[in-house]
């Protein structure tokens, strides 16, 4: 079945530094990738949608300069949290969609900014 | 716009109890409907889906029937186990408009006690 690998699974960083999270589709080409942020009490918020080779489309209220998304190939998308602050601490989840593959989610990344 | 409303949790049940998690939706047209499950510390996994009215999705003892007349997709299981403890998300995709964005409910946390 379709597999999406997300790394790292957890990361702790100092305030002011940047963190990169990778999302890879292992056995299919992901024409579209999605990045979600999960808040306390489990609600999921779609941050952005990215198509390979084009700029990501950000949801209203998401700072594109803070959350940099790159979808350079059909199997890799990255989310970089720039100048991270404690309020950016959260669980981030990616999802990939291919031509004959439904939505497949990564295992998530727990980001803690100290 | 499209939206999903699911019952608020948390839900706590004893092992072998009957489970129902209500989910209703609003959408223009005929969406595809999904239930996703998130185990502690993990990403989301597709549990079951239904793509048209009266379809019944089933997996691992869970069932949900696409009810167009009541715009509902309630999740049920006849006898829950401790291993079913997780957060359950109802979601939809509106098919036919070229949109590939999943719309999630807020999630329902289920705890099953021995």
User: In the prediction, which pLDDT does A18 show?
Assistant: 97
Closest to A59 in 3D by CA, of A87, A85, A88, A36: A36
Contact between residue A51 and residue A85 where contact means Cβ atoms under 8 Å apart: no
Tens-binned pLDDT, residue by residue, of chain B (114 aa): 778 999 888 999 999 999 999 999 998 778 899 999 999 888 899 999 998 999 999 999 999 999 999 999 999 999 999 999 999 999 998 755 555 678 899 999 999 999
The minimal CB distance from A44 to the residues B41, B42, B104 is found for: B104
pLDDT tens, residue by residue, A57-107: 999 999 999 999 998 888 999 999 999 999 999 999 999 988 877 889 999
Q: Is A60 on the interface with B (CB under 8 A)?
A: no
Residue to mutate among B43, B51, B94, with most A CBs inside 10 A, is B43
- pLDDT, residue B99, reads 55
pLDDT score, position B98: 53
A45 pLDDT more than 60: yes
Contact A42, B109 (CB under 8 A): yes
Asked if A42's CB is within 8 angstroms of B46's CB, the reply is no
For chain B, give the secondary structure using H, E and C: CCEEEECCCCEEEECCCCEEECEEEECCCCEEEEEEEECCCCCEEEEEEECCCCCEEEECCEEEECECCCCECCEEECCCCHHHCEEEEEEEEECCCCCCCCEECCCEEEEEEC
């Amino acid at each position: 079945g379709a597999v999406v690998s997300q790394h790292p699974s957890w990361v702790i960083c100092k305030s002011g530094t940047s963190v990169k999270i990778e999302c890879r589709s292992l056995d299919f080409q992901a024409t579209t990738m999605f990045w979600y942020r999960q808040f306390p009490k489990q609600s999921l918020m779609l941050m952005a949608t990215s198509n390979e080779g084009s700029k990501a489309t950000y949801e209203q209220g998401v700072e594109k300069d803070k959350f940099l998304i790159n979808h350079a190939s059909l199997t890799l998308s990255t989310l970089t949290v720039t100048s991270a602050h404690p309020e950016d601490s959260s669980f981030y989840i990616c999802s990939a969609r291919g031509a004959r593959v439904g939505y497949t989610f990564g295992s998530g990344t727990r980001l803690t900014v100290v | 716009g499209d939206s999903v409303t699911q019952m608020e949790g948390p839900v706590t049940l004893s092992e072998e109890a009957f489970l129902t998690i209500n989910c209703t939706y609003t959408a223009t047209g005929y969406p595809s409907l999904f239930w996703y499950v998130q185990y502690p510390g993990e990403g989301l996994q597709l549990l079951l889906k239904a793509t048209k009215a009266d379809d019944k999705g089933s997996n691992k003892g869970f069932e949900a029937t696409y009810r167009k007349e009541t715009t509902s997709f309630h999740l049920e299981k006849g006898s829950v186990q401790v291993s079913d403890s997780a957060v359950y998300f109802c979601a939809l995709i509106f098919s036919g408009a070229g949109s590939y964005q999943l719309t999630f409910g807020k999630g329902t946390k289920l705890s099953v006690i021995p």
